[in-house]
Amino acid sequence: MQFVVTAYDGTDDFALERRLGARAEHLKSVEKRFDEGNHLYGAALLDDTEKMIGSMMVVDYPSKEALDEWLKEEPYVTGNVWQRIEISPCKVAPIFMDLNK
């Protein structure tokens, strides 16, 4: 099943510091899951001043439960970076799936 994951960082004074502190582990995790075929693509969400305020990813997991298992170990979750996460099922068009091959 494919999902759009939209995750928003906290808005407190230390939110960006937490993000930057967890970023290397997050990117390593994403690279691993990309290689395994679970993460299709993603992007940092920016505010009007181009400050990172969240993340958007399109992922492919066997089930919502498998997605939830990933989130339990995602560094931006365990590092308290993401404060609000929205998950929506989706279907990526085949032409875009071909880009990941």
The answer to whether the predicted template modeling score (pTM) of the entire model surpasses 0.95 is no
Spatial distance between the Cα atoms of 81 and 76, rounded to a whole number of angstroms: 5
- Per-residue pLDDT tens for 52-64? 999 999 999 999 9
Instruction: List, in order of start, the domains of the chain with CATH numbers.
Output: 2-100 (3.30.70.1060)
The answer, yes or no, to whether residue 100 has pLDDT greater than 70, is no
